[in-house]
Amino acid sequence: MTAMSVLPVAVSAAPRVDDPANSTASSVVTREMMKRPVPEQFKRRLVRLSTNEAPGTIIVDTNNKFLYLVEGNNKAIRYGIGVGREGFGWSGIVKIGRKEEWPSWRPPAEMRSREARRGHMLPEVQKGGPDNPLGARAMYLYKGNQDTIFRIHGTNQPWSIGLNLSSGCIRMNNKDVEDLYQHTAVGAKVIVVGPGNKQGDISFDDRGVDILRTIFGG
C-alpha cells in the first residue's frame, strides 16, 4: 500500500449518498441529477502529492472521488471521477493491460441477463462513438494477465462525475480521460483505494458499466 498525502487538505467533500440532492444509494437517477454541473472540486488540477510511488503511477481514491496521476517531485494531476455504487466498490493493485480510443462496449453476460429479466434488452456490442457509455477512451485494468472487467473510461454523462453510479468501473469526463490516456502507458501501475480506505484482493465477478438506469430513466 502506498503512503499518500495530499496538500492542501482544504478540499470540499464529495457529495454524500445520504443527501437527497445527490443520493445514489438506490442508483435511481432523476432529471435534476442529470442537470447537475460538475462540482468545482472535481475539475482537473495540479496538486501537491506526497507519495513514494513512481511517476506514471495512477492512484484512485474512491472515497473522495479523485484519481491522481503521479508526476514526481511531490506533484500529481488530480481528476474527478465517478465510481461504483454501494456493493460494487473494490480495491487492489492492478495495471493498465491495454488502451483503446473510442472503445466498443460489450455488456457482460451477467449484466445482459440481469437486465433482460427487467425487460431491458442490451446489444452484445455497442460500437464506439459519442453515445457509447465508455466515452472517448478506455484503459483496461488487468491483474497479471487477467482482465478484471474493470476499466478507467470516459462517459457520455458528465453529470455523473463525483457520484457512485457504476458497477465498479472508474468513469471520467471525456476531456479528462483523453488527457490521462495520452500520459499513461500500457503496464502502468494502478492503485485503487476502496471503500473505507481498505485494500484487498480485487473481485473478478462479471461486472461492467452499469448505465442502464440512466438510459431508461431509473
The β-bridge relationship of strands 137-143 and 146-153 is antiparallel
User: Catalytic one among 65, 85, 151, 153?
Assistant: 153
106 is in which domain, residue-wise? 4-9+19-215
Q: Is 64 exposed, middle or buried (0-12, 13-18, 19+ CB in 10 A)?
A: buried
User: What pLDDT is stored for residue 28 in this prediction?
Assistant: 53
**What gap in Å lies between CA 12 and CA 15, rounded to an integer?**
9
C-alpha dihedral sign at 172, 165, 156, 115: positive
Element at 77 (helix H, strand E): strand 75-80
Distance set, CA 164 to CA 130, 160, 189 (Å): 22, 8, 23
Which residue ranges in the chain fall short of pLDDT 50? 1-3, 5-27, 87, 198-218
Which amino acid is present at 12? Answer: S
For residue 164, tell me if it sits in a domain. yes
User: What pLDDT is stored for residue 218 in this prediction?
Assistant: 30
User: What pLDDT is stored for residue 17 in this prediction?
Assistant: 32
Q: Is the pTM of this model over 0.85?
A: no
Is residue 169 among the annotated active site residues? yes
For residue 64, tell me if it sits in a domain. yes
**What gap in Å lies between CA 103 and CA 55, rounded to an integer?**
26
Let me know: does 140 contact 147? Beta carbons within 8 Å.
Answer: yes
For residue 134, tell me if it sits in a domain. yes
Write out the three cell numbers for 214.
Answer: 440512466
Under the phi-then-psi rule, with left for phi > 0, alpha for psi from -120 to 50, and beta for the rest, what region is 217?
left
For residue 180, tell me if it sits in a domain. yes
User: What pLDDT is stored for residue 195 in this prediction?
Assistant: 62
For residue 14, tell me if it sits in a domain. no
User: For the domain that residue 138 is a member of, what is the CATH number?
Assistant: 2.40.440.10
Is residue 153 among the annotated active site residues? yes
User: Catalytic one among 33, 49, 81, 169?
Assistant: 169
For residue 198, tell me if it sits in a domain. yes
Number of domains in the chain: 1
User: What pLDDT is stored for residue 9 in this prediction?
Assistant: 29
User: What pLDDT is stored for residue 102 in this prediction?
Assistant: 95
